Amino acid sequence: MDITSLISPESVVPSLKATSKKQALQELAKYAATLTGLHERAVFDVLLERERLGSTGVGNGIGIPHGKLPQLTRLYGVFARLDRPIEFEAIDDQPVDLIFLLLAPESAGADHLKALARVSRLLRDKSMCEKLRATSTADGLYALLVASEAQAA
């Protein structure tokens, strides 16, 4: 699963401003809506529903909100680096400042899971996170995320 097939330089947000988890998800839904052409509200609802099951704050300041939308035709990712860490109900109770949003079509099946596993593995890499936190431009972040591909392959 290629990271490049999930995100493009346009889907990287270098400094997202949000003060709460809800606001962050709303902002991300807005970005996702412009990328996918879906309704902002629909994206937000799917994400919120998933969060109700259990927070996608996986620890170490990382959040991976995700969900399935029937209207999509392919997988979409949005990567955001937050201005300030926010409370995300993460499993380690630590605030979150790096978010990778992943949206999948209802029928994506195994591809969706592979993409999720890929993203989760990528952001579990501590040195990668440090580099992402130290980078403030969209192009720089995109380059980092994509460069990981070469190493992982």
Q: How many chain residues interact with another protein (CB under 8 A)?
A: 23
Of positions 58, 102, 132, 141, contacts another protein by CB under 8 A: 58
Specify the pairing of strand 66-69 against strand 76-86: unpaired
Q: Is 66 a catalytic residue?
A: yes
Whose tokens are 């290629």? That residue is 2
87 in Cβ contact with 51 (< 8 Å)? no
Of positions 37, 53, 70, 153, contacts another protein by CB under 8 A: 53
Q: Is residue 56 part of the contact set for another protein (CB under 8 A)?
A: yes
Q: Which of 112, 150, 102, 103 is nearest to 128 (CA)?
A: 150
| Distances from the Cα of 60 to the Cα of 2, 70, 94, angstroms | 23, 31, 7
Q: Report 106-145 residues binding another protein (CB under 8 A).
A: 109-110, 112-114, 116-117, 120-121, 124, 126
Question: Least distance in Å: CB of 125 to another protein?
Answer: 9
Binding segment for another protein among 26-34, 78-86, 87-95, 130-138 (CB under 8 A)? 87-95
Residue of 21, 66, 81, 112 with catalytic role? 66
Residue 40 or residue 87: which is nearer to another protein going by CB? 87
Q: Which of 91, 100, 92 is nearest to 141 (CA)?
A: 100
Taking the C-alpha atoms of residue 83 and residue 92, their distance in angstroms, rounded to an integer, is 20
Question: Residues 58, 96, 115, 152: is their CA dihedral positive or negative?
Answer: negative
Active site residues: 66
Residues that bind another protein (CB under 8 A): 50, 53-54, 56, 58, 64, 67-68, 91-94, 109-110, 112-114, 116-117, 120-121, 124, 126
